Amino acid sequence: MKTGLEDKYILKNNKKLYFGYTTGSCAAASAKAGALMLFTGIPQERIDLMTPKGILLHLEIVEIRIEKDEVICAVRKNGGDDPDATHGILIYTRVKKNAYDEIRIDGGIGVGRVTKKGLEQEIGSAAINKVPRKMIRENVKKVCEDFDYNGGLDIEVFVPEGEAVAKKTFNPMLGIIGGISVLGTSGIVMPMSEAALIDSIRVEMRVKKESNDSDYLIVTPGNYGTYFSIDNLNLPDDFMLKCSNYVGETVDIALELGIRGILFVSHIGKFIKLSGGIMNTHSAFADSRMELMAANALRAGADVETAARILECINTEDAVSVLDESGLLEPAVKIILDKIRFYLDKRSCGRLETAVILFSNEYGKLGCTENVEGLLEKIKEKNGWLENCTVSELGQETRNCSP
């Protein structure tokens, strides 16, 4: 069955990546079909749904159960070529009349509940975002008008597989418990959308800011930085946020949300790129790791032979070893940190206090910007923790710290 997305794709690395449709579109289509069947008693095997993006979908309706007072049916989620944890699961709705003369929308089994501030819905509400709610309400209301029905309807969205699938998503970290979120601002899934990844950073940062009532954060690119922060620096993970490769966008979002300070904790392999002003650290966007390591080694006093050895290194761990053998690790790291801090300040126009801790897997903590201790004190004062963090040691030489 054609869905309306057969000719909708993007080209990435000379490969066609096809669009999909959101859980919000699934819920809206299922609710629309359920309302039609409630009034007619006739099974609807396909439903048309206009998405906010302006793409008309033709979606198959499955698992139809028509009873006297309610209808249950489902739409199977299709994420297209996007790596989506919800791809293939069934999004159900239960539609029945109510005595309140209004359309009421709620979540059932497998749809998460909001437990923290900072999300679109209030604490205790079903994690059905505002655009899907609007899509459901508008489509069901149109069906009611077509059948001259002025009463109310209860729409329950439920996902039997939702609780298991949610464990593969950001929901537990965001404070959405018990299932997936019903999402989508356009109704359409764009394959491998960077905008979606960046928006997830925005959502998580907002949640951490409001739930913890804090305008200071600890940010790491990924798991390495998180594990290092917990194991070596005794930093709690409640205030940590992963920015992936999107360092520049993370700074932008922090300014947007009123964050006052960020402590970045990163492996040198990621943040060496920032010393050259590269704010997206993905290898497909830019590399230059060895070139930047060599350039900063030269600034620290390395000779040409040492710089050439660094340029031949396979990774930054090898380059760190070369610097260590040459007796230049400490001064080179200081220069690298100064450059990183310069470009972070440039990105934020000096409106965000930033500090950086760099580490390597072999050598442990390599160094930190001179303001780390001060920023950590502010974080401690604001959030009332870090009693176990040896703040004074963070401002000292760190070569002797074990990984």
CA-to-CA dists, residue 141 to 44, 138, 240, 341, angstroms: 17, 5, 43, 54
Domain boundaries, the chain: 9-187, 200-394
Q: What is the fold, at CATH topology level, of the domain defined by 9-187?
A: CbiD-like (3.30.2110)
Q: By percentage, how much of the chain surpasses pLDDT 70?
A: 93
What CA–CA distances, in Å, run from 168 to 64, 114, 222, 238?
28, 17, 16, 19
Parallel/antiparallel/unpaired status of strands 152-158 and 103-107 = parallel
Residue 250: closest CA among 292, 188, 200? 200
Span of 97-101, 238-242, 367-371 with lowest mean pLDDT: 238-242
**Among 73, 51, 191, CA closest to 131:** 51
CA–CA distance, 48 with 46 (Å, rounded to integer): 7
Residues 297-335: pLDDT tens digits? 999 999 999 999 999 998 899 999 999 999 999 999 999
216 contacts 259 by C-beta, under 8 angstroms: yes
Give the model's pLDDT for residue 169: 84
- Tell me the mean pLDDT in the region 55-70: 95
- In degrees and rounded to multiples of 5, residue 122 shows phi and psi of -75, 160
Give me the amino acid identity at 39.
F
Higher-confidence residue of 68 and 74: namely 74
pLDDT at 388: 53
Chain segment 133-171, per-residue pLDDT in tens: 999 999 999 999 999 999 999 999 999 999 999 998 878
Cα dihedral: 249, 253, 256, 258 (round 10): -130
Both tokens of residue 207?
Answer: 């949640």
The full length of the chain comes to 403
Best CA proximity match to 26, nearest among 93, 103, 81, 83:
93
Cα atoms in the 13 Å half-sphere on the side-chain side of 294:
17
Cα-flanking dihedrals φ and ψ of residue 158, to 5°? -140, 155
The CA distance from 367 to 396, in Å, is: 8
Name the pLDDT band for 83 (thresholds 50, 70, 90).
confident
Q: What is the pLDDT of residue 128?
A: 97
Output the six-digit token pair for 184: 């989508």
pLDDT digits (tens, 9 = 90+) for 191-247: 866 777 888 899 989 998 887 778 899 999 987 788 888 787 777 677 789 898 999
| Residue 249 identity | E
Beta strands 56-60; 62-66: pairing state: unpaired
146-153: long-range pairs with CB below 8 Å, 24+: 147/39, 149/39, 150/101, 151/97, 151/98, 151/99, 151/101, 152/97, 152/98, 152/99, 152/100, 152/101, 152/102, 152/103, 152/104, 153/35, 153/38, 153/95, 153/96, 153/97, 153/98, 153/103, 153/104
pLDDT exceeds 90 at position 373: no
User: Between vectors from CA 356 to CA 399 and to CA 212, what angle results, nearest 5°?
Assistant: 125
Which phi and psi angles does 303 have, rounded to 5°? -85, 175
From residue 121, alpha-carbon distances to 124, 182, 203, 392 in Å are 8, 11, 12, 41
